[in-house]
Structure 1
Amino acid sequence: MSLSRIRFLASAADTAQSALAALVARYGQAEAADAEVIVALGGDGFMLDTLNRSQALGLPVYGMNQGTVGFLMNAFSIEGLLARLSGAERAVIHPLRMQALGRDGVVHKALAINEVSLLRTGAQAARLRISVDGRVRMDELVCDGAMVSTPAGSTAYNYSAHGPILPIGAEILALTPVAAFRPRRWRGALLPMGASIGFEVLEPEKRPVNAIADSSEARDVLRVDISSARDISHTLLFDPGHGLEERLLSEQFQ
């Protein structure tokens, strides 16, 4: 597929801004309404932000690494971009939908491409009650936090918390505790993609908890409900042989 009308976006980093100037000089800069593809220059955090901000455009996004980790990005090069875009592999992912009720009565709504996490903010461990599809599955999890991760986000915070890496095509979500104290040996659960997961914060005055959907934070929450937003999809582009499926596999054999 020919993708020649490119909308370039870049993070505020000096290297990304320099790359932006060079690419625009070579390939031009399409207006958002006329573009066929978005090329994002930065790191994984900027890619997540770009996907969220460009959702209404419905355009595929091709990232080039001008950040640190770059798991969601391709290698940077000014040369041959049109050929790389035309031959790119596509990966379609769905974000998580978070609805969090704060102690102030305000309901916070956000989308997360990687994960929704609940984290303690005080000196004492959080106490969480977990339900799946309206049924309480764990009366009390005492922990530093917990998260629900998508397959695309399973190599990020989820993996650092010893959660499983999920194949990109798996219809599964990972529910992973952070430093579980009770039950101490609990390592989390694998849930169907269509599951609705609820977290109730116990003793919120004594053990406050924040909820974070990627980088969107709701402070001092009472309850958090999470589900897969199947009505929303993002298309990422990768160089052949370096797509998300291959990266997820490679991560497990390092």
Structure 2
Amino acid sequence: MTAAPTGDRATRKVRHWADASRLGRLRHVEAATPNGPAWAVVLVLVLLAPVASLADGEVVAAAVLLVAVAAVLGVLLWFLGSEKLLVLDGGIVVGSFAPFLRPTVIPWSGIDPRTVSAVVGNQRTIGLLMADRGVSGASRTVLWSRRPVTFLAVSPVVARHAWAQGQPVDLATAPGFDLWVFSTRRPSRQAPLVHALAAAMHDARVPGADAVLPHALPPRRLRSTAEDADHLGIPERFRRAQLRRV
């Protein structure tokens, strides 16, 4: 009997992409769903929305506004919180699982296991380490998390093209790669994700898999230094000019 995946719930779309990925058994599901602080902020915004209408004595208008704001913010938060990372025997599936969006399939050959890192910092913190390269599809972050797991892998465009064509992908020869950043929901979720990645890589005999845990854990607090860029494995040409060593 196949063991159930660890982590979060395997929804129908998760199971669909696990099968479509052609990467074997689904081992772990990590979801960046909204945490307590995120819901608290939404609740405050919802409660503040009808204040002006209530002050004017417009009870019906206030009620309508309350419902409308709650619905809009709820849908927005649900949409933003649809980021997931699936760990399978042969690689990962990462990206948004919201309606009409497609995640990215990356086999282990497209990932550098030596760069898997659990860090403390948000997208801005990581952005300060890198040269301005515009918006990247490899940034799977959410506003309510400062606990991402990062790794170097083939770029989203390269990974999607290879998967669509049924072609193998190799990080060493790929025409493009990127620093992937996936936000975990809360601090306690970083270690389970790292352990799931390390175990899957080890079982698949990925070179460098044994170095994942000692490098990635415990989480490193980023301070925008050259040492931080080294730790994340950011190539020199991707770094901010002040952090380049050559």
- Report TM bin, short chain: under 0.3
Higher strand share: 1
Give TM-score scaled by structure 2 length: 0.28
Give TM-score scaled by structure 1 length: 0.27
Higher helix share: 2
